[in-house]
Amino acid sequence: MDFSLLRNIISRYCAGEENWVDSRTVYIGHKEPPAGAEAYIPQRYPNNRIVSSKYTFWNFIPKNLFEQFRRIANFYFLVIFLVQLIIDTPTSPVTSGLPLFFVITVTAIKQGYEDWLRHKADCSLNECPVDVVQQEKVVRTQSHKLRVGDIVMVREDETFPCDLIFLSSSRDDGTCYVTTTSLDGESSHKTYYAVPDTMAFKTEQEVDSLHATIECEQPQPDLYKFVGRINIYKDKEEPVSRTLGAENLLLRGATLKNTQHIYAVAVYTGMETKMALNYQSKSQKRSAVEKSMNAFLIVYLFILISKAVINTVLKYAWQWSPDRDEPWYNHRTENERQRHVVIRAFTDFLAFMVLFNYIIPVSMYVTVEMQKFLGSYFITWDEEMFDEELGQGAQVNTSDLNEELGQVEYVFTDKTGTLTENNMEFIECCVDGNVYIPHAICNGQILSAASSIDMIDSSPGGYRREYEDLFFRALCLCHTVQVKEEETVDGIKRGIHQGRPTSFYISSSPDEVALVEGMKRLGYTYLRLKDNYMEILNKDDEIERFELLHVLNFDSVRRRMSVIVKSISGEYLMFCKGADSSIFPRVVSGKVEQVKAHVEQNAVEGLRTLCVAYRRLSESEYQEACHYLTEAKLALQDREQRLAQAYDVIERDFVLLGATAVEDRLQEKAADTIESLHKAGIKVWVLTGDKMETAAATCYASKLFRRSTQILELTKKRTKEQSLHDVLFELNRTVLRQRSISGLSVDCLDFGLIIDGATLSAVLKPSQEVSGHGNYREIFLEICRNCSAVLCCRMAPLQKAQIVKLIKSSKEHPITLAVGDGANDVSMILEAHVGIGIMGKEGRQAARNSDYAIPKFKHLKKMLLVHGHYYYIRIAELVQYFFYKNVCFIFPQFLYQFFCGFSQQPLYDTAYLTLYNISFTSLPILLYSLVEQHVTIDTLKREPSLYRDIAKNSLLRWPVFLYWTCLGVFDAVIFFFGAYFLFDNTTFTSNGQMFGNWTFGTLIFTVLVFTVTLKLALDTCHWTWINHFVIWGSLLFYVIFSLLWGGIIWPFLNYQRMYYVFMQMLSSGPAWLSIILLITVSLLPDVIKKVLCRAICPTATERAQVSEKLLSGSAAELTPLSFRRSYKGRSTDSTLLHLGAAETLSLRSSSPLPQKLLAHLAEGGGSDLTSLSPYMLRLSGAGFAYYAPGPETPV
């Protein structure tokens, strides 16, 4: 009996590895381990098929129907439809079933088409050819047939078909170069390393002879984390174990570069690959408009139930007397007489629910979906948001949040790569207190890189010291930069200079490339990494070689990286570079104060700084460090924590060498964008991992902080001097005191807050809330509310998300937007209401995980102030209009029951009930919600303050909703009673024929359709040919349909009640008069209300509309909306000047025009009228009046 399995389980648990179930064993080449080793346990893993589609051919109908009927509106109409089928209702089931069928069908077709496209993409991926090593031969198969354990051969420029462990390479050093653009957007070449014991395998026969197993963690989505080990069996010897990490794992979707071919073994396939795990759907975000729609829907549902209850009660009250209960013309059957009164009342209640159910606009949801989907293309089509350098425009990853772009109150932005270009340039370095500047100017001459080392020295003497050589060597060795001789890009070879190949550097970090290139300019050139030896060319043109022993990789927690190298003389050196906050505490000697002062000075200037240190290791210290690192790397459980502990032990007792300064320039128009956002009432917060001084300098340059801004500091340095409690309360008193003063004074002091990550952790610590000092979160939020801008520095990625969540959950519940370009910004992008990714140099993870992606930060201005503004205005009108027109539609039906004995007699014909929301009134509002522009694009960009008019969901608040509802009720009352009183004279036609109830209903319906359509026409500001076509076309379609519907005897109908009704109505003069009169009376109150509001208290948007009309006319006033000064100049002499397309204007030389304006006009500045906005010009055919810029006084 074989007890090996039991023995293994017991040994694992006794070893304390209880979580062993979280690992998997992969048998390379599907070979069983040799006898005496671990028992062979065949494991079932998924194949390599990728499935991104949602449905299959068999489950599409049931699954799609289930998902659609989870929506409250759809389920509600399904219930109404079933009630109509079960009981005797006043309207046909077609009236509810057809609109519901239309909605369900359109949505199913849209979702089915999208899923079909996903199926096509999946098939193309799954059928890609792949080379697999089988029985010492390379066999070509399809990607979806790969299994875990297969040995795969990948050639240059091919994409990895699944997640692979790298075994061997065509390169002698056992490395390969990979680009992961499709995974994280990083176009740089990353180096991966083969398993040392298999890197020598060069042929299929050698690879196929490998006898080994891999133990690794179960699949998880972190692209940069992998823990495993490989056990290699050789004859009868003990298996050799080697650690496996992220540097050995080749991810699906990455591409092999600059390597002829590699061999690797599949460990994760199909939907278990890291790429598939990362592309799973994100949590659904809901916009404020959608929440308002649901709230309004509940109100209307309550109104519907109230109507049904009122009519049911009044029906039985009216039928209390026997003569009304069963009149002579409506005898009940015996079954109806014997039915219990409660059952009869419930049946009548359901019948009234069916009769009034059209007040719930089911078609509104379809229209909103279409508006969002089609409207999102305006962002992708926007040529102003297209970046020539990247060759890409804005992208929309989700269209559900378009209108949310018009409601943003807080913008949280990253600094590096978002506000700045992330294009690093080495500026200077400080070595042991001495400053070195590459290619510096001395006595009017540009010094070469070599001479600058000796001569550009801030201290007397300027002699070379040991620290200088160590500093430059440290920066040439402590990095992960790759050297490329040449590279073909779009058929053009990079790296060819004057006919000779020259090297250039590639790295995943632009900082590292800048530092290595800076050292090259200072005389120390990094040449290559070959056979695990790093080569550098020193100032004396001598090649120095160092054996690379260990790399302690950079991470965002440690904020430093180190390398351990061995010189030719056998000396062990550890070089370390990192943030000053992570280096200074670990330094035991060096000119710390001088370097620290220089770092702070560079930070104030907005430069990115790094500190450099080193340590000499003895043989015993090196062996001890190797022991720590090897032990941590071999661990399958908690490897990251163990490595962090090992790094903490090893990286200590440094000697400080110096510091570097790298410049990251501000992005184009970043300052203008932030200034516009401030004017729009949006608060901007910068969340960055940089040090305070660097970030603050960037904030001043980008106009986040102004020179007049009073800076409040909430930093670790200050909390050391005072307790956190005292600092918070002091800052709170300061801002509250100023707020009380600003209420009495015109001048208001502007506050800016700076907080660091350590202090933020203390503020957010839950234990503080129960302490005697009070709630720190609320105090912190109160301070932030009174600051125009906030800078959060030294922030970890998780802290960025915590800040966003803190503001989201505050009592005001503001709408937040997060924008960033790197993987460290993904957490806050996902946390915010709207996430925007920048297509930057730190990869595309942010763009991939965002709701919208833009090429540059400057495009955020148009995204919010123009597109967001339009989207919100349009969809707000759409929602309110839908509820309004349905109130107008169904309230006359409610009133009609009072005049027909509550008999549930419908007022409108079945065709009108069915087609009202589908055909007669649907297209005009859809088109309005796509193309309406209440003000022009130029005005929105020029006047960011217009964004304040729509803030805080102002167009969908309860007062506005009640106004639209009351307007609908008023119009419905006018329709019904107007027609009722006109019908009081029953001999309405010239031949004395009376109008019946269907003519009465058709008259009301005609007035209804024309009124709601003309109401939308009155609200339209931006008219195009398509507006005219759709609005007047829909009215014409109603008339033509009514003529056909009532003019033909349709054989498929079992009734002909509408025959000749519409024609008979139109043949009556009083009917025409009543239609015109009722439409006019219905529209009049809304027109009067708008005229009075514009005259008495116009909004900023309405003032902008007036200004636009003045500008578009022959007499236009070019003046900022809120500023004016009544100084006019008289004129006697005149000069003619042509202003572009404008008419010829008469300039009178005696008018008091300043020379600056005359020069501006003479140089052609007047060709663009907006360039004259600083000068108030009143233009006319005869002359002009000039208004000099003066004090800012509101109109």
Q: What are the catalytic residues?
A: 414
Alpha-helical runs (H) found in 897-1024: 910-915, 922-931, 937-942, 958-982, 997-1019
DSSP 155-169: ETTPBPSSEEEEEEE
Give CA–CA dist 427/1173, Å, rounded. 40
1103 burial (CB, 10 Å; 0-12 / 13-18 / 19+) is middle
DSSP 1084-1128: HHHHHHHHHHHHHS--HHHHHHHHHHHHHSSS-EE--TT------
Tokens read off for 55: 């449905």
SS3 54: coil
Alpha-helical runs (H) found in 55-93: 60-68, 72-86
The values of phi and psi at residue 120, to 5°, are -60, -45
Per DSSP (E only), the strands in 349-471 are 395-396, 410-413, 420-431, 434-436, 441-442, 445-446
Q: At what angle do helices 362-375 and 922-931 cross, to 10 degrees?
A: 30
Residue from 1100, 1090, 935 nearest 1021 by CA: 935
Q: At what angle do helices 958-982 and 869-896 cross, to 10 degrees?
A: 40
Give CA–CA dist 595/823, Å, rounded. 31
Give CA–CA dist 487/741, Å, rounded. 64
CB-CB contact of 612 with 660 (8 Å): yes
- Encoded amino acid at 401, one letter: L
Tokens read off for 556: 């965002």
Give CA–CA dist 1014/698, Å, rounded. 53
Give CA–CA dist 772/762, Å, rounded. 15
Give CA–CA dist 1022/193, Å, rounded. 62
Residue from 770, 849, 778 nearest 807 by CA: 778
Residue 700: its H or E element:
helix 692-701
How many H-runs (helices) and E-runs (strands) does the chain carry?
41, 45
Give CA–CA dist 756/972, Å, rounded. 60
CB-CB contact of 1057 with 998 (8 Å): yes
Residue 1157: its H or E element:
helix 1155-1162
Q: At what angle do helices 958-982 and 288-318 cross, to 10 degrees?
A: 40
Residue tagged 């909306």 (tokens): 1121
Q: At what angle do helices 724-742 and 757-764 cross, to 10 degrees?
A: 90
